[in-house]
Structure 1
């Protein structure tokens, strides 16, 4: 009876909700808040970051090499400066994005002394929200923990900047433990794995503590910590228009509390159209590895990629996951940076054959895409093309790929929340035009 009812009303919904697609063009609706050329509708201004993948010439978008800047500083220069000093950079990038300036050594030391001791979670929260009400999805577990932290905050609704900064820094510090413990609880409840809770270790930074808390042995190499820190740096921020950052702007514009805003951003990122790209790359590459006999045979690899593009292989969507981006065209600077570290890790882990396969897919897909789709669109690998492979080499399960994205991007969300509170001024309220035909009210006994 219940199934029949749901099937019946669902059929009615599918029929009655439909809108004539031609009406979107008639009323010039910016579907997905995109312009006709695919660029985003200008909805705000920001100093936090800039993402460039094309330029306009004679009214047309022309592909250019990708550029990402944090507070005006090229991501390549940031990473290069950090690596030349032989140190981790996530705390420095967090400082830069939140406080709009590069810290001095003294300022960075002071900041880390404030941030790192706040990584631990309240034991009551672990015992109840994480271990008693265990979720089957880490992203939903993260949302619930974030909302529970509202209850543990003595001043949760104050949206003054000093209070919001405090709340954001505590969330940034706690995300590694939230993810590690939520995953361990999931494995214990649904798969029978042994449960262990490693508390954060003094002297470890964000990347080191995450590896320490997630792994039963708490052991990790210097290179593993370096590449995780780099991944966090590269994922920390990507403009105000991506779905989760824009969600942060929309929700923050109502003057709601920080926990509600970040929980909403997590809900956005969980969506497979936003946060699941690197997992999709892994599933696709597993399919390629299974069906291509000789990974070093570029002709065989190309033939299988062509089958994927023609919707004849893998999930038959015609998509080569990790190739192409909403903004970047010729290149994604994050992908270029991460690829080099991925090569270094692959050499150490004995997985260069897989790395070379990734490189072949990266190099072959753009031309095959244009051939099969009969398009002159320029595509290149995005950061997700390599991040899943990196996480796999680090021994991370697919279930925490999107949470790892959140562990980095909570920094960007925090900056965009403060940006909206300081500069927004008005609640975000775009228009929706009704295209429903007027109809009379029918008394209940006369309805069919």
Structure 2
């Protein structure tokens, strides 16, 4: 039997052996995707780090949709964003401190924390050489392998004491932008034949500014570019314990494994197109719509095409309008609302106001069309999520698509480490181990010489 034959037999068997009747999930009250029947998440843990609010529970009744709220350590992210915009400050570092420590830092504490982040940005020569030797087209995969390389150079890699966990957290948060920038330039040099420009991070720049400097070079970004990237990092820094990548880091941390293994697993989760890769789907869809819609102001034409997409008759025939809908948010995603306001200013600066107006119209009509297509059911209430605008923002800043999802990781590493530290510091530690109901029929063992397959 040839290799192709055995692979085909193994593949064909999946059709039978992996099939489970949907009715069995109802029969055994199994929460698919850890979701309740009303689409809310199954409660599996407690946290003091963040909260994602999109609905209210009504006693004896259905869920009530409400405007979305994102809370960091008890503080509304909208209040954080408003303060940063009023004072014209970069705020990601302050947000990181809040998530890790649980409180807002004083000016003295924030200055000292910024100095610590600055000290940790540079990558040691051996680590840098190892990272630059990694090859691949996908920066997320290079980031994951780079994190495992960091394990090799950490003499206390397996130490899970509070102090060491915090040291590792600061180191990873500080180094992620450097690794991503280096990985991009290395990939571009290897596969696109471009000159590899490796710029050392600067001490006097914020994390957002440093990333733009390392990626694009001096004088190739504006102050607004840096401020909107900083805000995007703030908005992506955490999203509660239930999102897929954060749950991944909590699950792996509960086993007692090292920080680098746990973070690598979270990166793998975030890479998925249903999670961190969603903004790429939105920008691809938007570029397609710019080509096929003849009049960007014609609501009837736009709506008709969106309806075709929902019917799986147009675009990639998945039946999805990317960037519309969220697992928790119903009426609004606060991250999308904040980013949209700043995106409008950025579009003016870049001379892309027509495109922004078109995107905003797609948001409005996308929500309307989806609701009409699915029916006005509370479980189907949808809004634009943060991915709807983030990809367009990154494109206007002049960032390559290859770093869109890594930027998400660059922000979310702050929340990941806060949740890892919390998971490992419960008084009563318990490995996360849910159950699966086996619904396969029992079979008798058949001796090898008596088996036959046609």
The TM-score range, normalised by the shorter chain, is over 0.9
State the partner residue of 1:80: 82
How far apart are 1:59 and its partner, in Å?
Answer: 2.7
CA distance in 2, matches of 1:47, 1:399: 34
SS of 2:205 mapped into structure 1: coil
**1:388 pairs with 2:413:** no
What does residue 431 of structure 2 align with? 427
Which position in structure 2 is the counterpart of 1:93?
95
Q: Equivalent residue of 1:432, what SS?
A: coil
Distance 1:147 1:374 in 2: 47
Cα deviation, residue 20, structure 1: 2.2
* Partner residue, 2:323: 322
The answer as to 2:87 corresponding to 1:50 is no
Superposition deviation, residue 188 in structure 1: 1.4
Cα-to-partner distance string for 1:120-150 (whole Å, 9 max, x where unaligned): 112222222x332312211110110001101
Q: Which residue of 2 aligns with 1:211?
A: 212
* Correspondence for 2:443: 439
Q: Distance in 1 between matches of 2:4 and 2:50?
A: 48
1:368: how far off?
A: 1.2
> How far 1:218 moved relative to its partner?
5.9
Q: 1:217, CA displacement in angstroms?
A: 4.8
TM-score by length of 2: 0.96
Question: 2:119 is matched with which residue?
Answer: 117
1:68, 1:333 within 8 Å by CA — same for their partners in 2? yes
* Matches of 1:134 and 1:92, distance apart in 2: 34
Which runs of 5 or more residues in structure 2 are unaligned? none
Count of aligned pairs: 447
User: In the aligned structure 2, how far is the partner of 1:153 from the partner of 1:259?
Assistant: 10
C-alpha distance in structure 2 between counterparts of 1:323 and 1:17, whole Å:
31
CA contact (8 A) 2:173 2:413 kept: yes
Q: Matches of 1:289 and 1:219 in 2, distance apart?
A: 27
Q: Which residue in the other structure is 2:401 paired with?
A: 398
Asked if residue 411 in structure 1 is aligned to residue 414 in structure 2, the reply is yes
Please tell me whether the aligned partners of residues 369 and 375 of structure 1 are also in contact (alpha carbons under 8 angstroms).
no
Rounded Cα–Cα distance in structure 1 between residues aligned with 2:90 and 2:154: 30
Matches within 5 A, 1:290-329: 290-329=291-330
SS at match of 1:422: coil
Q: TM-score, normalised by structure 1?
A: 0.97
Moved more, 154-163 or 290-299: 290-299
Gaps in structure 1 of 5+ consecutive residues: none
Answering whether residue 195 of structure 2 is matched by residue 194 of structure 1, we say yes
The answer on whether the counterparts of 2:333 and 2:386 sit within 8 Å (CA) in structure 1 is yes
Secondary structure of 1:131 counterpart: helix
**Paired residue secondary structure (1:43):** coil
Q: Which residue of 2 aligns with 1:355?
A: 356
Of 163-172 and 292-301, deviating more is 292-301
RMSD over aligned Cα atoms:
1.2
Please give the residue correspondences for 1:213-232 in structure 2 after superposition, counting only pairs within 5 Å.
213-217=214-218, 219-232=220-233
Question: Equivalents in 1 of 2:372, 2:84: separation in Å?
Answer: 41
